[in-house]
Amino acid sequence: MNRPTITAFQVSPDRGRGLARDMRVRWALEEVGQAYDVRLVSFEQMKQPAHLALHPFGQIPTYEEGDLALFESGSIVLHIAEQRAGLLLPADSNARARVITWMFAALNTVEPPLVELTAAKVFERDQPWYGQRLPLAFERARKPLGDLSRRLGDAQWLESDAFTAGDLMMIGVLFRAKGLGVVDEYPNLSAYVARGEARPAFKRAFDAQLAVFKHSSEGA
């Protein structure tokens, strides 16, 4: 693999709490032991043609490696996992398909209502219908979380005894939602997230994104 370059916020609105989606890409790179470079972009730069050529929706993260340019954290993590077979994706093709299924479940089933709940709590607070909307948003987030909690049960990881890209993506999604006060209604999910956070690769990724924020705020 050529050394990749990813993009991240120049000044992350989360103040280095690891909530921006470059975190899961950094984590995957750390898990497979791939060194990488980071290009920091401002909100203004993200909407300029140069960045839009890489990311049609004007967001981070992006991923460049030789001739390849990717956007979407799920696609990027899958690509990284595929480059180093056996580390984040099992060799057996059925097991691999199951892991990829969990990646889709994380991004397609679990994350959307959590993003909606975040939007409700953060951006809709001043709306006259906020009081009615909030409980609905909580209920919608609880449905997939409750189902996931039942499925995970007492298991360490989703598919087998080994941590996979499915866990990385699911924990990446749940980790972002920790502050919403809904994931912690499910103690086994909180413990699952904590197991992910305890991984040395997670810590290295977290520290790297925090260092960017500290550096940017020192310069401000």
Ligand X SMILES: N[C@@H](CCC(=O)N[C@@H](CS)C(=O)NCC(=O)O)C(=O)O
Q: Measured at CB, which residue is nearest to ligand X?
A: 59
Q: To the nearest whole angstrom, how small is the minimum distance from the Cβ of residue 59 to ligand X?
A: 3
Each residue 80-109 as x (binds ligand X by CB under 6 A) or -, in order, gives ------------------------------
Q: Of 54-62, 81-89, 122-130, 206-214, which segment contacts ligand X by CB under 6 A?
A: 54-62
Q: Is 72 in the site for ligand X (CB under 6 A)?
A: yes
Residue of 10, 21, 100, 103 that binds ligand X (CB under 6 A)? 21
Q: Is 59 in the site for ligand X (CB under 6 A)?
A: yes
Residue of 20, 99, 106, 114 that binds ligand X (CB under 6 A)? 20
Whole-angstrom distance, CA of residue 212 vs CA of residue 220: 12
Q: To the nearest whole angstrom, how small is the minimum distance from the Cβ of residue 20 to ligand X?
A: 4
Bridge pairing between strands 5-9 and 37-41: parallel
Residue of 29, 30, 54, 73 that binds ligand X (CB under 6 A)? 73
Q: To the nearest whole angstrom, how small is the minimum distance from the Cβ of residue 121 to ligand X?
A: 16
Q: To the nearest whole angstrom, how small is the minimum distance from the Cβ of residue 109 to ligand X?
A: 14
Q: To the nearest whole angstrom, how small is the minimum distance from the Cβ of residue 137 to ligand X?
A: 18
Which spans of this chain sit near ligand X (rule: CB under 6 A)? Answer: 20-21, 46, 58-61, 72-74
